[in-house]
Structures are given as C-alpha cells and as structure tokens.
Amino acid sequence: MEERRSFLRRVAEYEVEYTVTEVAGGYATALEARGRIINLSDEGFGLETGYPLHKGHVITIRRGEGDNIPSHGLVLWSKRVNGKFRAGLRHFPR
C-alpha cells in the first residue's frame, strides 16, 4: 500500500475540548464537544470523537494538555470507526 501522507505522523494522546462551527442555510452554529488527538504531524492531526465531524467543519480547540496541540483545524475527512468518528484535520499556524 502506497503512503500518501506528505508529513510523518507522530502518535499522540491528548484529551481536548473543542468547538465545531457548522454553517447551514446561511447561519453559523458553534457546538461544544470532546475528543482525543491521536496523532500529529507538521501539517495536521488526527482526532477521535463522538461528534460526527464532516469535511469542511472548522474546530477551535479550547482546552487540552500538551505543548504541541494545535489551536484550530479544518476537517479534511471523517469516517465512523467502532462507534466513534475519526477525522483528519489540517491545522492552522498559531
């Protein structure tokens, strides 16, 4: 299987609280959720959560312990795995 990632990912385990912004019908809604960052790279991170994230959602990490956790992320993909959602996000510079 060919590796498609441009950046090496490092295994991580950071519990986080985040806000996800959804835009629908011309209105924006901010919802609060919890999740766990499961890997990090120079460009993005993997998140496991109970909330059904979708491509295009933007999240803001409000609370989490760890020196290198990103403050924001753009959902690039999401899929359901074992009753939870796993998502790949691109993070924004701090």
d(CA 7, CA 44): 9
Q: What is the dihedral of CA 65, 67, 72, 77, to 10 degrees?
A: -80
Position 2 scores a pLDDT of 46
As for how many domains the chain has, the answer is 1
CATH number at 79 reads: 2.40.10.220
Residue 72 lies in a domain: yes
- pTM recorded for the entire structure: 0.82
Residue 3 lies in a domain: no
**Sequential pLDDT tens for the chain (94 residues):** 444 555 677 888 899 999 998 877 888 888 999 999 999 998 899 999 999 999 999 999 988 776 678 889 999 999 999 999 999 999 875 5
Position 36 scores a pLDDT of 95
Position 67 scores a pLDDT of 64
Residue 4 lies in a domain: no
By residue range, what is the domain housing residue 41? 10-91
